[in-house]
Chain A
């Protein structure tokens, strides 16, 4: 029984970080309809950059993390400006292919600058563990979950009520019509990439402070794809709920099934769940359905 509580808490909190990274994906999808396949690599490069700032340059925590945010803003801006803007009004598939190219580019860049394969970040959060009932949780997990929730709330409000947020959603619906309303779509795209990069950076720092910097961070990006597919490609709510579902399935299912089956079963369970959900709700749990009037 005690292990169940442990599995649940770990599952939910790790899932929240998946959610956070998934939010980054949803943000870009919602405003421009582009699937950012370089997400995992962005998470990777930002956590390595954090390592560079905090360990290699030895900067204090506040300055280092501040620089990481600035760097991610700049990188998001640069990606949009250099790679995606020239392709505005081209078929969406070309844009997605460009993000795939970006993924390889970033990966190459990372192994060029940081040739080693693993590293650990210094402690960002307090060290002592917290006891919840019989379960023991280290503080990173709780911080990660809290930060994810906070960013989710901010983003949801921004998209629902702010002028820019509404315009971003409108842009996803009809790019030409939005320009006819005088909305500068280029500014919308660059802003959504900048925000998305910051989310990826926060997710990267959180994941790295939990599990260290490894190439596994790219797979975390992949896992957040399954989160968005489960939750619905354009739903923040879907992303924030689907993350813990995936996390729970992984940890609870994996925890109990591994002794009975084979060691890798943990990785497979989320995908089995996704397949089942896709049968019932093809747009994901909270995805927008394509509107067709007949």
Chain B
């Protein structure tokens, strides 16, 4: 169980980007964090995984608890060993390594060699395409294959919480669907919790159990996936649907904007 309690995050000690974020991820659940660019979604993930310190950011207030242990002062390496792994935004594969070597880096901190072997097979059953490409240089894979590789690399750490930062970024709709289906199956079959950051609200709420909507470093709305899917504001501002639920037409574009009710 991950609990983020009212954290504030500053970069370079002056730029405050999160103003009191609280969220929780129950064991075995999928939680989506939604929001526009610059809302602070990625920063929230980095605060949890400890990567913030590399980028001169700092959790200045609040706390992050993982199974009751405070982790906001631990290093990325320690947090990784405690079972939290983050797949970064933007398909950051190790370009000059083969696909299989990429996956093996994901298992760097594990000492159970035999289990790593079987987990490699597990990743290949989730992503059969990667098995065919395992000797290929990762830099030359297609965008979708690279995204699969990044998620597979996170799986190789055998995490208890997997954090994915915009897995749909820049992918064709069919590929997005395929990847999301695999994430859902992985969650169900391996009992791994998933914390998902996404701009593609529709697919994210399609697999999530609950979600949070972020704006300007604050959480403005939260609830179960069904609640969010049916919320008028989410529909209007994040799913591009008009109040009646049909697709928006340019014919009835209004001169004024609907006001968000959470502001």
Residue positions of A touching B, CB distance < 8 A = 89, 163, 166-167, 169-170, 172-174, 176-184, 288, 291, 293
Contacts and interface: CB of A to CB of B under 8 A. Distances in A.
Contacts of A173: 94-97
Interface residues of B, number: 31
Contact of B96 (A179, A182, A288, A293): A288
Given A166-B104, A169-B94, A291-B140, A182 B88 contact: no
Contact of B108 (A174, A182, A288): A182
A163 B108 contact: yes
Nearest to A173: B94
Given A174-B92, A291-B95, A291-B137, A180 B105 contact: no
Given A177-B92, A180-B51, A170 B139 contact: no
Contacts of A169: 94, 96-97, 101
B87 A183 contact: no
A170 B88 contact: no
Contacts of A291: 95-96, 137, 139-140
A181 B80 contact: yes
A170 B97 contact: yes
Given A166-B97, A166-B105, A177-B88, 13 more contacts: A167-B105, A167-B108, A170-B102, A173-B95, A173-B97, A177-B93, A180-B49, A181-B80, A181-B106, A181-B108, A181-B153, A182-B80, A288-B96
Given A176-B54, A293-B139, A181 B105 contact: yes
Interface of B: 49, 51, 54-55, 76-77, 79-81, 85-88, 92-97, 101-102, 104-106, 108-109, 137, 139-140, 153, 157
B97 A180 contact: no
**A interface: dominant SS:** helix
Nearest to A165: B101
Contact of A182 (B54, B55, B76, B93): B76
A89 B52 CA distance: 13
Given A169-B97, A173-B97, A291-B137, A183 B108 contact: yes
B87 to A, nearest CB: 7
Given A173-B97, A174-B94, A184 B77 contact: yes
A167 to B, nearest CB: 6
B88 A183 contact: no
A89 B105 contact: no
Contacts of B97: 166, 169-170, 173
A176 B51 contact: yes
B114 to A, nearest CB: 14
B154 to A, nearest CB: 8
Given A174-B92, A291-B96, A180 B86 contact: yes
Nearest to B45: A180
Nearest to A169: B97
What 10 pairs across the A-B complex have the smallest Cβ distances?
A: A182-B80, A291-B139, A173-B94, A177-B92, A170-B94, A170-B105, A182-B109, A291-B95, A184-B77, A183-B108
